[in-house]
Structure 1
Amino acid sequence: MLFINTRPQDRAAALTNTLQHAGIQVLEIPLLELHARAWSADLAQCYAQLLNAQVIVVVSPSAVTMGMAWLDRAGLTIAQLESIQWVAVGQATANTLAEYGIRGVTPSVETSEGMLTLPCLEDLVAGSTVAFWRGEGGRQFMMQQLIERDIDILNFILYERQLPLLSAQSIQSYVSVLQASPRYCMLVTSEASWLNWLQLMQDHYDLLKRACFLVLGERLVNLVTQSRVQLALDYKIIQLEDLNPTHILQYVQQVQETP
């Protein structure tokens, strides 16, 4: 069984190692890379209001490190943020927060929907403030849900997300591997990464029919399902609730054992 690990290069190792240890062939095709944004008037304005926030939502380990890097420039310290509740999208992000001495709560389902069910967000009253440490284009659904509840948003756009140039340049070699694979599993963790994959495969949509896509969260499953209808392709979709490598391995083994 071939597995395509689409995690960013700096976050792919744990999953790749777990699968390879179990005898699964892994092809790493990162579909997103992050580029930090420079200090700007918009960021300065957000940091100036940060102490007014009741909650800080951090969407990735990179968002943690990039957000922390600007604290000194903004005239703030971590100690000043101790009374604010931190929300981490998943355990990897929570672990990065812990390196700064901060305990972040994580949802059982590592998606925007999962985070919205956390009591610290679900119980907010109108007029409260939530800060988002995120990348360009990320977490639009979650922020919109909070805005509709009259929650004020501090929008920290700390980085941009792009399709890695190497992945785009290597597409023909990837296609050759897929053509030699009767079926494969692939991880899909965000709308941006899915759209990047469709872009890469636009001349080879027939190869999607060989796939079983392991997709994070219900909303993203709906998007991948819509693409299946629009492209008139029959591929399998399995919904993930988290990105735990052991859980992903279990799903891959189930697919492997299915005739």
Structure 2
Amino acid sequence: MSHWRLLLTRPEEDCAALAQSLAAAGIASASLPLLAIEPLSLGSAQQQCLQLLGQAQALIVVSKPAARLLLEQLDRAGIEPPSTGWFTVGEATARVLQERGLLVTFPTAGDDSEALLELPGLREAAAFPTARVVIVRGEGGRELLAERLAEQGASVEYLELYRRCLPQYPAARLPRLIDGERLNGLVVSSGQGLEHLHRLAGEDWPRLARLPLFVPSPRVAEQARALGALQIVDCRGASAAALLAAVQRSAAPAP
């Protein structure tokens, strides 16, 4: 049995699945979702982007909510999704699209923007003359991905389908949960999740910042350092497998 007791902060559905995976490995956890998904109403520019998806050389979907909401929008508009040209950052997002019979490519070594950019198929798509790439996402994020693709000559546009909100919690909900469950590690899956953790912690942040913090990428690790986190573990991916591997190679704090 592991001595780790982790705080999980992903959206509610993802927290439940992640907690189950950790429990199977003997790792205890408690969940406090810090990212609520709020769908956006699409304006004329976004509607036009939907209509022209089939003309893109690459369609990059960055999360499961983005994949689900995109398929819903296409169904609502009566648009058949292109069967090819799909890329995702990770396997879980790919599965959402594959269930619709779409051909999806994703990196098997790592689940971040850097790993995605190494895929030969995406490189070929970006090198196509007057290549058009659509990144399907929530508000903000994956700017590095867009910058690198633009450097390769592609025309990149975003299709933003949702925003991530911090759910409303009573004052001191976060520190009370950590203390009550005797949690000794924090997990965030994105830069925005880290921002929400910091905001919710309030005046308790200096104390919580001493706990080991598991983050999905070097970029989020740098954000955490800037906020004063003292023990940062870069999982090099946001998947359950990446987190589990990072936890298993890290020693839990002494009780």
Distance between the aligned counterparts of 1:119 and 1:171, measured in 2?
Answer: 49
Question: Aligned to 1:95, what secondary structure does the other structure show?
Answer: helix
Tell me the equivalent position of 1:133: 136
Give the match for residue 197 of structure 1.
Answer: 197
- Kept in 1, the 8 Å contact 2:59–2:85? The answer is yes
Is the contact between residue 174 and residue 200 of structure 2 (CA under 8 Å) also seen in structure 1?
A: no
TM-score of the pair, normalised by structure 2 = 0.87
- With over 3 angstroms needed to count, the CA separation of the structure-2 counterparts of 1:85 and 1:181, relative to structure 1, is same
How large is the RMSD of aligned CA atoms in angstroms?
2.3
Residue correspondences, number: 248
Query: Residue 114 of structure 1 aligns with which residue?
Result: 115
SS of residue paired to 1:161: strand
Q: What is the aligned partner in structure 2 of residue 215 from structure 1?
A: 215
Give the equivalent residue in structure 1 for 2:69.
66
Report the equivalent of 1:94: 94
Q: Equivalent of 1:30, from 12, 30, 33?
A: 33
Aligned to 1:252: 247
Counterpart residue number, 1:19: 22
| SS in structure 2 at match of 1:210 | coil
SS at match of 1:201: helix
Deviates more, 1:50-59 or 1:200-209: 200-209
Is the contact made by 1:109 and 1:217 (CA closer than 8 Å) also made in structure 2? Answer: no
Contact 1:129 1:153 in 2 (8 A): yes
Are the structure 2 counterparts of residues 248 and 171 from structure 1 closer, same or farther at C-alpha, using a change threshold of 3 Å?
A: farther
Residue aligned with 1:155, SS? strand
Distance 1:75 1:36 in 2: 19
Could you tell me which amino acid in structure 2 is paired with residue 10 of structure 1? E
Gaps of 5+ in 1: none
Quote the Cα distance in structure 1 between the aligned partners of 2:79 and 2:38. 23
Identity %: 27
Partner of 2:163: 160
**What is residue 56 of structure 1 aligned with on the other side?**
59
Aligned to 2:42: 39
